Amino acid sequence: MPDNASRRGLPVNSVCAIVVLVALAISFLFSSWPSSYAAGPSGSRKSRLVVLMVWDGLRPDSVTRRTTPELFALAAEGVRFDRHHAIFPTLTMVNAAAIATGVMPARNGLVGNVMYFAPFFPRPTSPAATDDIRREVRYPLFIENSLLLVRLNGRSGLDGRLLTADSIGQELEREGGFLAVVGKRGPTMMFDDRVDTVSDGRDRFGLPHADYMFVASDLIEPAALAAQIKERFPRHDPTEIAQDAVATQIVVKYALPRAKAALEAGRPALIVLWQRNPDASQHRYGLGTAAALRSLAACDANLAALRRAIAELGLADLTDLIVVSDHGFATVKASIKLDSLLVRAGLKRSLDSDDIVVAGNGGCDELFLSRESFPTPQARRSVLSKIVALIATQSWCGPIFSRPASPQDSSSASGAVAGTFNLARLGLFDPARSPDLIVAYRELPEVDNSRLTGPTNPAFVLDGESFRSTANNSSAVVEPVKGAVYSDLAGDFFTTGMGMHGAAGPRELHNFAAAIGPDFRRHFVDNLPTGSLDLAPTVAYLLGLKHPFGSTQVELQGRVLSESLIDHGSDPIDIRHYDLRVDLALPKARVSSLLHLSAVGQEEYVDSSDVTVTPSAGAPRR
């Protein structure tokens, strides 16, 4: 790649002249934009473009000189964040919402990839207005779907509050910047969940929304943009590699030139490019397979195309490029049908009953109890305790989480149910939206997938008292990858050997991050804990955005990654390591669950988890 000197654009004097002329025109056209901004990296606002490229599901150990040479070189040339973390649950929509808003699920309202909306969905004002969406929310919904999110967020649904915190993209729009969000349907919507409501430069709440583009495979806004875009996302693309290439070309051809125009007018710009891979290929074919390796190479080629375009447009000296993933990955060891187990144990009436609803999220399950079937806290705690006693000693069960004993209890490690962690202590408790129980499946971080991935290996499902064998739908493994996890997505498609995430093990909690640009240090390895929650405050700082954001006025919870920036000192920063522990005493065993955490200042990061079962009869521990 060319160095920064060969990527420089216009001379400073020419740029200044253009900035003055274009800024006058822009201020005339968009008089509603504010005339002053928060301080940027040097104390006054800079014209800056931040490009946030997300490789969905990228593990840090997948970035090598051979497999991903472009990303490997970027991380070596700029900053590599060697202890980056996803938040739990390690799911795309949960981490996308955290990246976009800078706050935890307790404050942004997104608690899963599969969410059960019925308990808190607004009552219909008229049956005709909500028939369709009311039918849909009777069941857990997979929300990686822009059009579904639009319906959920409509006036007859959540009325603009799909996210209960405003995003960094929406704040950028309010402060007069340019926003482009392109790529995978679902997580892109977290950066601009009211994009479909814009009229005359304002969104549903009357807030400025004037210079933007939103492009997913199922939604393009504004409508006039759809006619301009000649690229079409392919319909039959099992690996979704072609869709990633199309999204990248849209950024190169349309988003970057518009970002350049914004910079020349003295306005900041943010481009989010969310790739579907390697997540899509790892799920479908398995980690370390030929398809997964091809998807990594394809993402790397897209990164190279993006960097070339930035250089060719003379934007390199004005662009901070951040490449991250939303979560890690592991290989399915066996599939667990938790709803079937609950029915067999007499705790749930039937597979389709709504007394206990199980929202399957891959490496974790989220359980919702009906307030009609269990009307009191005591009744709910009783049945939840029975569920915990049933599953906590099983070899496939990891840590379990429940609501706090009281809504005000956000400090104790233990939840209301014995043997479970407190959702509020970990920033996961939204009184209206959070499940009553989250069951994380066990991850085995040192087990590799050589005997799991591939059609000739056995596959297993547990939906009764013992595991039964089934077909293995994964592809042959080429390079064995460590990390196995039990999963709830049992069925005709997801099997042993395929990729999964959502649990609280280190292979899923640790993801990738690197950055390069005029504001980042060179050839620097950041050994401090960092995570998804830190990206929004860091981007806000780089763009000079004000916070708390917008109409929700929620303060950002992550930290600015100051140690990675050139305009910050190198004073030592204190890192703490500690555990949270809960215990459960049962007639035949004792269960001890640990969460291992690290912290920088007030910001916590979950590193891993352990569950130890000690049978009372003295049998070996698991």
The pLDDT of residue 46: 59
Q: How far is CA 504 from CA 45, 251, 430, 460, 549, in A?
A: 40, 34, 20, 22, 30
For the cut 50, the answer to whether the pLDDT of residue 14 exceeds it is: no
The pLDDT of residue 621: 52
Q: How far is CA 168 from CA 43, 173, 267, 545, in A?
A: 20, 9, 15, 8
* Spacing of C-alpha 433 from chain mean position: 18
Radius of gyration of the chain (CA): 24
* Spacing of C-alpha 483 from chain mean position: 20
Q: What percent of the chain has pLDDT over 70?
A: 89
Residue 298 contacts residue 244 (beta carbons within 8 Å): yes
What value does the mean pLDDT take over residues 148-157?
89
The pLDDT of residue 9: 34
For the cut 70, the answer to whether the pLDDT of residue 7 exceeds it is: no
For the cut 70, the answer to whether the pLDDT of residue 318 exceeds it is: yes
Structure tokens at 31: 């008089």
The pLDDT of residue 238: 86
Packing angle between helix 290-312 and helix 241-250, nearest 10 degrees?
10
Confidence of residue 346 (pLDDT cuts 50, 70, 90): very high
Q: How far is CA 422 from CA 357, 435, 604, in A?
A: 20, 12, 15
Residue 566 has, within 13 A of its CA and on its CB side, a CA count of 12
Residue 351: helix, strand or coil by DSSP? coil
Question: How far is the C-alpha of 208 from the C-alpha of 550, rounded, in Å?
Answer: 10
What strands, in cross-sheet order, belong to the sheet with 319-324? 219-221, 212-216, 178-183, 269-275, 49-55, 319-324, 513-516, 79-81, 524-526
DSSP string, 11-60: -HHHHHHHHHHHHHHHHHHTTTS-S-----TTSS----EEEEEEETT--G
CA distance from start to end of the chain: 50
Question: How far is the C-alpha of 351 from the C-alpha of 349, rounded, in Å?
Answer: 7
Residue 151 contacts residue 129 (beta carbons within 8 Å): no
Q: What percent of the chain has pLDDT over 90?
A: 78
The pLDDT of residue 109: 95
Q: Which residues pair with 30 in a beta bridge?
A: none
* Spacing of C-alpha 250 from chain mean position: 22
Confidence of residue 90 (pLDDT cuts 50, 70, 90): very high
Question: How far is the C-alpha of 508 from the C-alpha of 486, rounded, in Å?
Answer: 12
Give 445-485 pLDDT, tens digit per residue: 999 999 999 999 999 999 888 899 999 999 999 999 999 99
- The residue with greater pLDDT, 617 or 78, is 78
- The residue with greater pLDDT, 452 or 129, is 452
Q: What is the 3-state secondary structure (H, E, C) of 127-178?
A: HHHHHHHHHHCCCCEECCCHHHHHHHCCCCCCCCCCCCCCCHHHHHHHCCCE
- Nearest by Cα to 449 from 521, 507, 491: 507
Confidence of residue 21 (pLDDT cuts 50, 70, 90): very low
Confidence of residue 138 (pLDDT cuts 50, 70, 90): confident
Residue 603 contacts residue 533 (beta carbons within 8 Å): yes
Give 554-586 pLDDT, tens digit per residue: 789 999 999 999 987 666 678 999 999 999 999
Question: How far is the C-alpha of 547 from the C-alpha of 556, rounded, in Å?
Answer: 7
Phi/psi of residue 150, each to 5°?
-60, -45
Structure tokens at 463: 């939906």
Residue 457: helix, strand or coil by DSSP? coil
Question: In this structure, what is the dihedral angle of CA atoms 535, 540, 543, 544, given to the nearest 10 degrees?
Answer: -150
- Nearest by Cα to 542 from 518, 524, 573, 514: 518
Phi/psi of residue 396, each to 5°?
-95, -5
Q: According to CATH, where is 3.40.720.10 located in the chain? A: 4-184+237-327+510-564
Residue 517 contacts residue 327 (beta carbons within 8 Å): no
Confidence of residue 131 (pLDDT cuts 50, 70, 90): low
For the cut 60, the answer to whether the pLDDT of residue 4 exceeds it is: no
Give 473-519 pLDDT, tens digit per residue: 999 999 999 999 999 975 568 999 999 999 999 999 999 999 999 99
Question: How far is the C-alpha of 182 from the C-alpha of 235, rounded, in Å?
Answer: 17
Q: What is the 3-state secondary structure (H, E, C) of 42-55?
A: CCCCCCCEEEEEEE
* Average pLDDT, rounded, for the chain: 89
Out of 129-138, 211-220, 403-412, pick the least confident: 129-138
Helices (H) and strands (E) in the chain, counts: 16, 27
The pLDDT of residue 118: 85
Question: How far is the C-alpha of 234 from the C-alpha of 278, rounded, in Å?
Answer: 17
Query: Which amino acid is residue 133, in one-letter code?
Result: I
Give 186-223 pLDDT, tens digit per residue: 999 999 999 999 999 999 889 899 999 999 999 999 98
> With respect to CATH, is domain 4-184+237-327+510-564 assigned 3.40.720.10?
yes
Confidence of residue 133 (pLDDT cuts 50, 70, 90): confident
In this structure, the number of other CB atoms found within 10 A of the CB of residue 172 comes to 26
Phi/psi of residue 304, each to 5°?
-60, -40
- Nearest by Cα to 76 from 516, 453, 435: 516
The H-or-E segment that residue 78 falls in is none
Secondary structure letter of residue 540 according to DSSP: H
What value does the mean pLDDT take over residues 55-68?
98
- The residue with greater pLDDT, 138 or 53, is 53
Question: How far is the C-alpha of 573 from the C-alpha of 526, rounded, in Å?
Answer: 12
What value does the mean pLDDT take over residues 592-608?
96
Structure tokens at 428: 């996961």
Out of 9-18, 151-160, 164-173, 354-363, pick the least confident: 9-18
Give 31-45 pLDDT, tens digit per residue: 332 222 334 444 444
Question: Looking up tokens 């669950």, which residue turns up?
Answer: 593
DSSP string, 189-222: GGG-TTGGG-BTTB-TTS-B--SEEEEETTEEES
What value does the mean pLDDT take over residues 286-304?
98
Residue 457 has, within 13 A of its CA and on its CB side, a CA count of 22
Q: What's the longest Cα–Cα distance across the chain?
A: 82
